[in-house]
């Protein structure tokens, strides 16, 4: 497949959520790729539970789901409590609180459920537009014939559509710039193996799966020129919180002369957090590490450490691609200049 850099990429065959007028339906990502089943969330508590359980995951998708959850909370007549439950569902992706802050500000202004629904739809539409802008900008940075390695799932399943890092991959492949796509399996939840490989397969994009610990050998082989990842929160100094393993990839990339691209909408930027040191890293059940697919493989009686995100220092990021443009070697001054409050 090849075409110009601005080739319209319409293949967006999967979507993580849909609002049916009365409730939010979520594509249950715990069951993919083996089963495509939608989970009906009829109230805000169900949405909060679904976010916590990773039925829906990926920073932008969590924010969008939470916004619809806030609509349900308003309809239930328990907006404050419902929003507080949604806010507490997961700690690291700032898109969750960003979306809920938007909904809260409107509700505080007297908005009814109809107005809140329009806002949730706007959050979703803005995310899709941002992804298209980032995909075009990011793909242009890649020299023709390049190989790329991505991590976790940053595609349509993690967003309103197209994806962040995977959006760049989609457009890069469509425009002929990207010749080879590799995906890390992303232990322990296997977002890369289960979700990214499935999404790419749906769109007819060939990709090769690697175990996470093969990344250094892959870079040494010369097969990849870029690591392209998303983000869950980007601090004021440009430090990036993303799926566990991202930091290791950034270190390896710098060693091998492979460039590190982070692709994230401005809703992922958190100027109120000075650096990655202050970002709360979610820890999940050690059982995810002690086994796989519900089957335990570690001996009984042992335990595990399961942080599901890590911090990549800004100094290891070559480019940050946002819908507000491309930032090279982001630092506090560059971040402030691009994302600081604008004059009214
Ligand atoms: O635990 P998850 O699956 O919600 O983690 C998702 C990631 O870390 C993604 O890389 C990140 O949200 C960017 S996706 C657009």
Domain count, the chain: 2
Domain end point (choices 69, 94, 129):
129
Output the furthest CA–CA distance in the chain (Å, rounded): 60
Express as a percent the part of the chain with pLDDT over 90: 94
Average pLDDT, stretch 321-333? 98
pLDDT in tens, 150-188: 999 999 999 999 999 999 999 999 999 999 999 999 999
* 134 in a structural domain: no
DSSP E strands: which ranges in the chain? 17-19, 24-27, 38-41, 146-150, 178-184, 208-210, 226-229, 233-235, 240-243, 259-263, 269-270, 291-292, 295-296, 309-312, 319-322, 325-328
In this structure, are 243 and 157 located in the same domain? yes
Q: Say what the pLDDT of residue 3 is.
A: 46
Instruction: Report the sign of the C-alpha dihedral through residues 67, 72, 74, 79, in that order.
Output: negative
Q: What residues does 41 pair with on adjacent strands? A: 24
In this structure, are 34 and 99 located in the same domain? yes
* 167 in a structural domain: yes
Annotated active-site residue 331? The verdict is: no
CA of 82 to the centre of ligand 1 (A): 23
In this structure, are 191 and 103 located in the same domain? no
Average pLDDT, stretch 42-57? 98
Domain CATH code at residue 194? 3.40.50.10470
In this structure, are 298 and 206 located in the same domain? yes
For the Cβ of 12 lying below 6 angstroms from any atom of ligand 1, the answer is: no
Average pLDDT, stretch 108-127? 96
In this structure, are 105 and 222 located in the same domain? no
Q: Say what the pLDDT of residue 33 is.
A: 97
In this structure, are 301 and 175 located in the same domain? yes
Q: Say what the pLDDT of residue 341 is.
A: 74
Q: Say what the pLDDT of residue 12 is.
A: 61
In this structure, are 152 and 91 located in the same domain? no
pLDDT band at 8 (very low <50, low <70, confident <90, very high): very low
Q: Which atom of ligand 1 is nearest to the CA of 282?
A: 1
The 3-state DSSP class for residue 57 equals coil
* 318 in a structural domain: yes
In this structure, are 82 and 153 located in the same domain? no
Annotated catalytic residue, options 232, 239, 270, 318: 232
- DSSP label at residue 342: P
Residue 135 has pLDDT above 50, yes or no: yes
In this structure, are 109 and 160 located in the same domain? no
Q: How far is CA 235 from CA 256, 271, 317, in A?
A: 26, 6, 13
In this structure, are 210 and 164 located in the same domain? yes
Q: Say what the pLDDT of residue 342 is.
A: 57
Angle between the N-to-C axes of helices 94-108 and 113-140, in degrees from 0 to 180, rounded to the nearest 10: 140
Q: Which atom of ligand 1 is nearest to the CA of 159?
A: 15
Q: Residue 158 belongs to what domain range?
A: 142-339
In this structure, are 191 and 333 located in the same domain? yes
* 271 in a structural domain: yes
DSSP string, 224-279: -SEEEE--SEEETT--EEEETTHHHHHHHHHHHT-EEEEE--GGGEETTS-SGGGS
pLDDT in tens, 270-316: 999 999 999 999 999 999 999 988 899 999 999 999 999 999 999 99
């Amino acid at each position: 497949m090849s075409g110009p850099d601005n080739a319209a990429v319409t293949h967006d065959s999967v979507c993580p959520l849909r609002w049916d007028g009365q409730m939010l339906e979520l594509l249950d990502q715990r069951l993919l790729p083996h089963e495509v089943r939608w989970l009906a969330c009829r109230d805000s508590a169900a949405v909060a539970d679904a976010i916590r359980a990773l039925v829906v995951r990926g920073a932008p998708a969590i924010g969008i789901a939470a916004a619809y959850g806030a609509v349900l909370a308003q309809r239930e007549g328990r907006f404050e409590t419902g929003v507080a439950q949604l806010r507490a569902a997961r700690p690291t992706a700032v898109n969750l609180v960003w979306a809920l802050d938007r909904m809260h500000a409107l509700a505080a202004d007297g908005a009814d459920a109809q107005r809140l629904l329009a806002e949730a739809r706007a959050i979703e539409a803005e995310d899709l537009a941002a992804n298209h802008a980032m995909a075009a900008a990011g793909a242009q940075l890649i020299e023709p014939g390049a190989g790329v390695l991505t991590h976790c799932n940053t595609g349509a399943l993690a967003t309103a559509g197209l994806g962040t890092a995977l959006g760049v991959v989609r457009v890069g492949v469509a425009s002929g710039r990207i010749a080879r796509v590799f995906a890390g399996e992303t232990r322990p939840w296997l977002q890369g193996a289960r979700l990214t490989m499935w999404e790419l397969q749906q769109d007819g994009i060939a990709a090769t799966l690697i175990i996470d610990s093969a990344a250094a050998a892959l870079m040494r082989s010369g097969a990849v020129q870029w690591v392209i990842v998303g983000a869950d929160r980007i601090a004021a100094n440009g430090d990036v919180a993303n799926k566990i393993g991202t930091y290791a990839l950034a270190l390896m990339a710098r060693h091998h002369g492979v460039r590190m691209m982070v692709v994230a909408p401005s809703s992922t930027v958190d100027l109120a957090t000075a650096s990655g040191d202050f970002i709360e890293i979610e820890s999940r059940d050690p059982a995810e590490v002690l086994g796989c697919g519900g089957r335990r493989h570690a001996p009984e009686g042992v335990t595990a450490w399961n942080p599901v995100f890590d911090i990549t220092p800004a100094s290891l990021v070559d480019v940050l691609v946002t819908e507000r443009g491309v930032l090279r070697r982001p630092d506090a001054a560059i971040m402030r200049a691009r994302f600081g409050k604008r004059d009214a």
